[in-house]
Amino acid sequence: MTTRTLVTVSAAIEAATGVALIAVPDLVARLLLGTGLTGSGVAVARVAGFGLLSLAIACWPGGDDISPHATRALFLYNLLAGLYLGFLRVGGEFAGYLLWPACVVHVLLAFLLARPAYKPV
């Protein structure tokens, strides 16, 4: 898989998640964490959605070259998100239907982005 494909897939996943968090944050929380959101949780989830959508737009491949900064940003985001989602599940606090799949996808993307993120330019 090429770096361009990896960056595109990762950015597309984050864009879709960002849009979903903005539009229906409670549904995303229920599917991912197995619990709903309160009033302030909805507001924070929507702000997180703005951030994810912005990350996706900033990292979306354009032209012929993939920015090493975008690749590093997506690598770090996927690594941290995957580890944290795994921590939430292993800790037993949350058990949504999509928690393990989201954890695995983020860790896999981080693994695949690790080499291109830090190869010499």
* pLDDT for the residue 55: 97
* pLDDT for the residue 28: 96
Can you spell out the DSSP letters for 8-38?
A: HHHHHHHHHHHHHHHH-HHHHHHHHHSS---
* pLDDT for the residue 66: 84
Residue with tokens 């393990």: 100
Rounded to 5°, the CA angle 71-19-111 comes to 30
pLDDT digits (tens, 9 = 90+) for 75-101: 999 999 999 999 999 987 898 999 999
Q: How much of the chain exceeds pLDDT 70, in percent?
A: 99
**Where are the domains positioned within the chain?**
3-118
The CA distances from residue 5 to 16, 19, 71, in Å, are: 16, 21, 11
Give the chain's residues under pLDDT 50.
none
* pLDDT for the residue 63: 76
93-102 long-range Cβ contacts below 8 angstroms, 24+ apart? 94/32, 94/33, 94/34, 94/35, 95/34, 96/29, 96/30, 96/31, 96/32, 96/33, 96/34, 96/35, 97/31, 97/34, 98/31, 98/32, 99/32, 99/33, 99/34, 102/32
* pLDDT for the residue 92: 79
Contact 83, 111 (CB under 8 A): no
